[in-house]
Structure 1
Amino acid sequence: MTAPKPQPGILDIAPYKGGEAAVPGVTKVHKLSSNETPMGPSPKGMEAFRQLAGELHRYPDGAVDILRNALAKHYGIPAENIVCSNGSDEMISLICASYVGVGDEVVYSQYGFMMYPIATQARGATPVMAKEKNFTSDVDALLAAVTPKTRVVFLTNPNNPTGTYISGSELQRLRDGLPADVLLVIDAAYAEYVSRNDYSNGMEMVAARDDTMVLRTFSKIYGLAALRLGWAYAPANIVAVLNRVRGPFNVNAAAQAAGAAALEDTAWLQKSRDHNDAELARVGAALKGLGIEVVPSVANFLLMRFPGGAEQVKGADVALRQAGLILRGMAGYGLPDCLRLSIGTVEEDDMVIATLTKFIKG
Structure 2
Amino acid sequence: MSVEMSKPVPRPGILDIAAYVPGKEHAPGVARVYKLSSNETPLGASPRAIEAFREAAGHLERYPDGQAIELREAIAAVHGLNPANIMCGNGSDELLGLLCHVYLSPGDEGIITEHGFLVYKIQIMGAGATPIVVKETDHTVDVDAILSAVTDRTKIVFIANPGNPTGTYIPVSEVRRLQAGLPKHVVLVLDAAYAEYVRRNDYESGIEVVSSNANVVMTRTFSKVYGLAALRVGWMYAPAEIIDALNRVRGPFNMNASAIAAGAAAIRDQAFVQEATSFNQMWIEKVTGAFETIGLKVTPSVTNFVLIHFPDVDGKRAADADDFLTSRGYILRAVRSYGFPNSLRMSIGPEEANRGVIEALGEFMGRPA
TM-score by length of 2: 0.96
Pairing 1:269–2:273 present: yes
The correspondence of residues 16-27 of structure 1 with structure 2, limited to 5 A, is 16-27=20-31
Pairing 1:176–2:180 present: yes
Partner amino acid, structure 2, of 1:142: I
Give the 3-state SS of the residue equivalent to 1:294 in structure 2.
Answer: strand
Give the 3-state SS of the residue equivalent to 2:302 in structure 1.
Answer: coil
Deviation at 1:195, TM superposition (A): 1.1
Q: Distance in 2 between matches of 1:259 and 1:314?
A: 37
Give the 3-state SS of the residue equivalent to 2:325 in structure 1.
Answer: helix
1:258 counterpart (258, 262, 265) = 262
Q: Distance in 2 between matches of 1:185 and 1:160?
A: 15
TM-score by length of 1: 0.98
Partner amino acid, structure 2, of 1:259: G
Deviations 1:75-122 (Å, cap 9, x if unpaired)? 111110011100011111100000011001000111110000000111
Unaligned runs of 5+ in 1: none
Q: Distance in 2 between matches of 1:14 and 1:218?
A: 26
Q: What is residue 62 of structure 2 aligned with on the other side? A: 58
Determine if contact 1:310/1:336 at 8 Å carries over to the other structure.
no
Pairing 1:214–2:218 present: yes
Pairing 1:286–2:274 present: no
Q: Distance in 1 between matches of 2:69 and 2:215?
A: 24
The correspondence of residues 80-159 of structure 1 with structure 2, limited to 5 A, is 80-159=84-163
Determine if contact 1:68/1:79 at 8 Å carries over to the other structure.
yes
Q: Distance in 2 between matches of 1:324 and 1:144?
A: 45
Deviation at 1:26, TM superposition (A): 2.1
2:360 counterpart (351, 355, 360) = 355
Give the 3-state SS of the residue equivalent to 1:355 in structure 2.
Answer: helix
Partner amino acid, structure 1, of 2:351: V
Deviation at 1:310, TM superposition (A): 8.4
How many residues matched? 362
Q: Distance in 2 between matches of 1:309 and 1:245?
A: 51
Q: Distance in 2 between matches of 1:95 and 1:70?
A: 23
1:335 counterpart (307, 321, 340) = 340
Q: Distance in 1 between matches of 2:210 and 2:232?
A: 24
Deviations 1:247-290 (Å, cap 9, x if unpaired)? 00001100000000011212111110110000000000000011
Q: Distance in 2 between matches of 1:126 and 1:31?
A: 34
Partner amino acid, structure 2, of 1:18: P
Deviation at 1:308, TM superposition (A): 2.5
Percent of paired sites with the same residue: 52
1:321 counterpart (323, 326, 341) = 326
RMSD: 1.1
